[in-house]
Amino acid sequence: MNQLEMFGRAKWIGADEKSASASLLVRRCFTTNKKSRAKLKLIGLGTFEVYINGKRVSEDCFLPLNSEYENIDCPNGEKLAYRIYATEYDVSSYLKNGENVLAVLLGFGWYTGIERWEKPQKVYGNKKLIYSLELADEKGAVEILVSDGCEKYREAFVAGGNLHMGEKHDYREWNEDCLLPEFDASDWKNMAFEKPVESEYLYTDCPADTVFEHRSARLIYKSDAYSIYDAGRNISGYPILRAAGKDYSEIRVTFSERLDDSGIALDHSHIHGQAFDALANCESGDIYPRFTWYAFRFFKVEGNAEVQSVAVVHTNVKVDSDFKSDNETLNWIYKTFIDTQLANMHRGIPSDCPHIERLGYTGDGQLVCRSALHTFAAEAFYRKWIGDISDCQDRKTGHVQYTAPYVYAGGGPGGWGSAIITVPYEFWKYYGDKTVLSDMFSGMLQYLDFLEAHCDSNLVISDIEGVWCLGDWCTPPDQSNIPAPFVNTYFYIRSMQRVLEIADAIGRSDEVSYLEERIEKCKASIDKFYFNALGRDKTYVGNVRGASAFALSAGLGTELTAEKLISYYERLGHYDTGIFGTELVTRCLFELGRADVAYRLLTADEPHGFGKWRKNGETTFPEYWGVARSHNHPMFGAVVACFFEYILGIRQERDSAGYDSIVISPASIQALSHAEGFITTPHGRISVSYTKSEAGTEYKVEIPAGVVARIAVEGMEEKSVGAGIYTFKV
């Protein structure tokens, strides 16, 4: 819908002059009798909090959801699509007879511009607000108050800041009584009308950010000048402080993922510019950021302030899976993926990291979405992000941006842009919902045409001139990388294969029959340029960085290729792969029946690996196997889906979606004596556990109603079952 359809006669309002402050407090007074119903809908740009009669209306943080808000100039003249999300609250319980006041704390956000590496980027416009308050009495009579310029405002206590570096607060002129109806705001400034936001106006069920947990902070060092605290693990969020004196004093908090070698000071290479400053006294109340979050484990407090708690903040999604085993590293991987992914779910997007960039990279996001769907109740979250991916496709050429919503960043034509196919495909397979396939189908075909137009000799060799053209990413620095055209052509082939499957599911196969010929041409080119067909080699690119796993996954190679892949990693004993190769090698080894080798890679600790990260005390995944710029990147967590699909053996039959039809077939791993866990499907919980002993292996399997299951456990005859709990011993 458009602005008129959603907000009627309401107008966008803002400051009557460009405010020097990072925040405004906007007031609207109104009189009402006790009403049976009151509904408020609003959008505040960049970020807002809402109060009625001094009470905060919701615990939602950092609204509105991030999106491609409206048209601004894009590189290369690309044309995107635009949407903006409204928030709606039932505020009936906040009203009282007589005078009431609606107050909105309005501050900076994605809309007002982001700063990355000291370079302001993508500024849509100034802070602005639109709202509609519907009041209905017991008889059904309705009165609607809208933003119309009669509101008053003043600069609020958030005096400066930006999304990436942090906030500065000044409480000297701040009085919380301004949130109450009896406060006299007659000398405040008048609001002015702002330019309308030309966009598609939407509601969504995508959850907002919230304070998920309050943690205590352990004091690890104290001097006269400052104190160092440990939040216990890497998080996204912030400490909540109280100024300790009656006099206003300067408080400064800096954040880091690590301590330096002394163990009592922050490692400055992992602060990433994050700081929180406040000028406050003991009457300032709880002091914490309102428009951004920090990513850290350790923090330093300078000034006269006490730490009340540490708030863990991320999107309000539920963890609805579990995995446990008798291997500490596997358990660590599962738990660490949860903590890393949650730290990277903010404002409706899955980010690459919660501090340095905070962007919805399409490469990182499409890679881990399968694990995230298995692990979290994330249907609404990913449905929203699929819309962002669609918006960020160039309507003229079909090019898909490296980030969604779009901010200038690096990536590649295969592993990043293919998110427009991969994410809807994984969403459909997990939830069984074909609507996203139909909605995205034309965009998928346009993207495939874009890749075809960027082929040379049936290999994808470019994207857009002058930008990055990556293949795999974050590989160890000890040998050559897989050629980017090989990787990008792999993604082109896999994308075409998935589109053929999608077309069959939605009854549009006749529109894509030409893709089969394209696939064969691309396969032939990969074989021509990258397959060593001589003698007994039969590998792709010498199997560097798991190249043969890419080929096997696309339907290339021979039995000897698979044998060479297995023997290579049997000898090596650890990952030598980047973010895409790590998941592909792991999955290929499981599918080839060599779970023992996959297990060895997953648990390896030398020279690098998940085991080493665990022993080093990491609580979220670093960005690289080696020296890490960031210690909070989720990409390597893509292997977690294999825990459920192969270690526990919960897999869908090939032609199934939404877990209508499954096979239970846990992998045989000699070194693993116990594993248990569950996923939550559209039909309910599917769980598997097994325990080995000298007497055999005891299994317990739970199947919900509506699922047809085939139990195929090594050592026993296959059988088909329906809903129920099954225990057996082999």
Residue with tokens 């080696």: 626
pLDDT range class, residue 559, cuts 50, 70, 90: very high
Q: Hey, what are 36's tokens? A: 């049976």
Query: How far is residue 91's CA from residue 105's CA, in Å, rounded to a whole number?
Result: 17
Q: Which of 425, 450, 446 is nearest to 511 (CA)?
A: 446
Buried b vs exposed e over 665-674: b needs ≥16 C-beta within 10 Å? bbbebeebee
Predicted pLDDT of residue 477: 81
Least confident residue range of 327-341, 618-632, 670-684: 618-632
Predicted pLDDT of residue 343: 98
Same structural domain, 366 and 500? yes
Averaged pLDDT, 113-125 = 70
Same structural domain, 448 and 578? yes
Q: Yes or no: say if 40 and 214 are a contact pair by the CB < 8 Å rule.
A: no
pLDDT at 34 over 70: no
Please write the tens of the pLDDT for every residue from 646-691.
999 999 999 999 999 999 999 999 999 999 999 999 999 999 999 9
Look up the CATH number of the domain holding residue 706.
2.60.420.10
Query: What residues make up the domain containing 712?
Result: 661-729
Please write the tens of the pLDDT for every residue from 245-275.
899 999 999 999 999 999 999 999 999 999 9
Same structural domain, 172 and 156? yes
Query: How far is residue 22's CA from residue 11's CA, in Å, rounded to a whole number?
Result: 22
**652 assigned to some structural domain:** no
Backbone φ, ψ for residue 235 (5° rounding): -140, 170
pLDDT range class, residue 123, cuts 50, 70, 90: confident
Query: How far is residue 442's CA from residue 249's CA, in Å, rounded to a whole number?
Result: 59
Q: Yes or no: say if 36 and 136 are a contact pair by the CB < 8 Å rule.
A: yes
Look up the CATH number of the domain holding residue 384.
1.50.10.10
**451 assigned to some structural domain:** yes
Same structural domain, 150 and 229? no
Beta-carbon contacts of 573 under 8 Å, excluding residues fewer than 6 positions away, are 600, 601, 604
**145 assigned to some structural domain:** yes
**656 assigned to some structural domain:** no
**724 assigned to some structural domain:** yes
Please write the tens of the pLDDT for every residue from 572-591.
999 999 999 999 999 999 99
Predicted pLDDT of residue 453: 96
Same structural domain, 89 and 178? yes
Residue 282, SS3 per DSSP:
helix
Mean pLDDT across the chain: 94
Averaged pLDDT, 143-169 = 93
Please state the domain count of the chain.
Answer: 4
Predicted pLDDT of residue 207: 97
pLDDT at 409 over 90: no
pLDDT range class, residue 405, cuts 50, 70, 90: very high
Same structural domain, 231 and 306? yes
Same structural domain, 516 and 465? yes
Predicted pLDDT of residue 669: 96
Predicted pLDDT of residue 464: 82
Residue 585 burial (CB count, 10 A)? 29
pLDDT range class, residue 365, cuts 50, 70, 90: very high
Single out the residue in 647, 672, 696 at which a domain terminates. 647
pLDDT at 321 over 80: yes
Look up the CATH number of the domain holding residue 62.
2.60.120.260
pTM confidence score:
0.96
Same structural domain, 496 and 352? yes
Predicted pLDDT of residue 19: 60
Single out the residue in 605, 625, 647 at which a domain terminates. 647
Same structural domain, 429 and 534? yes
**266 assigned to some structural domain:** yes
Averaged pLDDT, 549-567 = 96
Same structural domain, 458 and 361? yes
How wide is the angle at C-alpha 214 spanned by C-alphas 208 and 219, nearest 5°? 140
Q: Yes or no: say if 297 and 619 are a contact pair by the CB < 8 Å rule.
A: yes
Same structural domain, 483 and 603? yes
Averaged pLDDT, 329-356 = 97
DSSP state of 179: G
Helices (H), 319-405: 328-343, 362-375, 379-391
pLDDT at 152 over 80: yes
What is the percent of the chain with per-residue pLDDT over 90, rounded to a whole number?
89
Predicted pLDDT of residue 115: 67
**310 assigned to some structural domain:** yes
Same structural domain, 326 and 455? yes
**653 assigned to some structural domain:** no
Single out the residue in 206, 221, 243 at which a domain terminates. 206
